[in-house]
A and B are shown apart, each in its own frame.
Chain A
């Protein structure tokens, strides 16, 4: 299998969308400070806590989704290669 084919299997369109969510999570985490809705030096207000927590959830879930998908595809690729080699041996 060529590297391009393997990469296409490792990174499907769904994983690209998950990466967009990862970027969105970064923005959500930074937005209260970037938009100065969180007063500097004050305890976090409700909107800041909510937005930062959701940003963190988005980042973690999307990263976990991308990595888990990659690991499972890699396992499939290894199994296929092993099965091909066994077929050649027989």
Chain B
């Protein structure tokens, strides 16, 4: 696939234009008081109302436009590999899930405590099975002895 240099100038142009317009909106709000055509303490004159009604939306929308261009800039930087790409939701879920059941975890991944516990459990299981076998043998011997004594008697 052909690779081209990512150009970020277009996003910066949009961001700068939005920033200047944001400042213009702010000045529109302040101008009636700064230039003195709004008498102090009196009702707002029509110029003041018009400047406010225009300046507030201009400032807010300029911020939104700045956010749009900034988001596009971040997207371009991610696409170029400058910023790390966001994790997809499926990948994020997979990261939280245990990869394999505990019994299948290979030995190198286990901690010392896990290894000690598994060794202890294996020893206990071997001891139990040995006792069961011994118990079965003893019971079998007793049964044989009883049957022999009955036949003799």
- Chain B residues touching A, majority SS: helix
Q: Which residue of B lies closest to A69 (CB)?
A: B10
A78 to chain B, nearest CB (A): 10
Q: Which residue of A lies closest to B9 (CB)?
A: A72
A62 to B13, CA, bound (A): 10
- Whether, in the assembled complex, B138 has its beta carbon less than 8 Å from a beta carbon of chain A, the answer is no
Q: Mark A53-71, 1 if CB is under 8 A from B, else 0.
A: 0100110011011001100
What is the number of residues of chain B that contact chain A, defined by CB distance less than 8 Å? 38
B56 to chain A, nearest CB (A): 12
Across-interface contacts of A84 in B (CB, < 8 A): 2
Across-interface contacts of A87 in B (CB, < 8 A): 1-2
Q: By the criterion CB–CB under 8 Å, are B7 and A75 in contact?
A: yes
Whether A54 touches B28, Cβ cut-off 8 Å, given contacts A20-B61, A87-B1, is yes
- Whether, in the assembled complex, B54 has its beta carbon less than 8 Å from a beta carbon of chain A, the answer is yes
B36 to chain A, nearest CB (A): 7
What is the number of residues of chain A that contact chain B, defined by CB distance less than 8 Å? 39
Whether A24 touches B54, Cβ cut-off 8 Å, given contacts A14-B18, A58-B24, is yes
- Whether, in the assembled complex, B47 has its beta carbon less than 8 Å from a beta carbon of chain A, the answer is yes
**A80: contacting residue among B4, B32, B57, CB under 8 A:** B4
Q: By the criterion CB–CB under 8 Å, are B54 and A28 in contact?
A: yes
A72 to B58, CA, bound (A): 25
A58 to B47, CA, bound (A): 18
- Whether, in the assembled complex, A3 has its beta carbon less than 8 Å from a beta carbon of chain B, the answer is no
A18 to chain B, nearest CB (A): 6
A45 to B18, CA, bound (A): 28
- Interface centre among A15, A73, A86, by most chain B C-beta atoms within 10 angstroms, is A15
- Whether, in the assembled complex, A46 has its beta carbon less than 8 Å from a beta carbon of chain B, the answer is yes
Q: By the criterion CB–CB under 8 Å, are A54 and B32 in contact?
A: no
**A27: contacting residue among B3, B14, B20, B54, CB under 8 A:** B54
A37-B50, A54-B31 given. 5 additional CB < 8 A pairs?
A37-B47, A65-B18, A68-B13, A72-B9, A87-B2
Q: List 7 A-B contacts (CB under 8 A).
A: A14-B65, A14-B72, A17-B64, A24-B54, A45-B37, A58-B21, A68-B10
- Point out residues on B near A: beta carbons under 8 Å: 1-5, 7, 9-10, 13-14, 16-18, 20-21, 24, 27-28, 31-32, 35-37, 45-47, 50-51, 54, 57-58, 61-62, 64-65, 68-69, 72
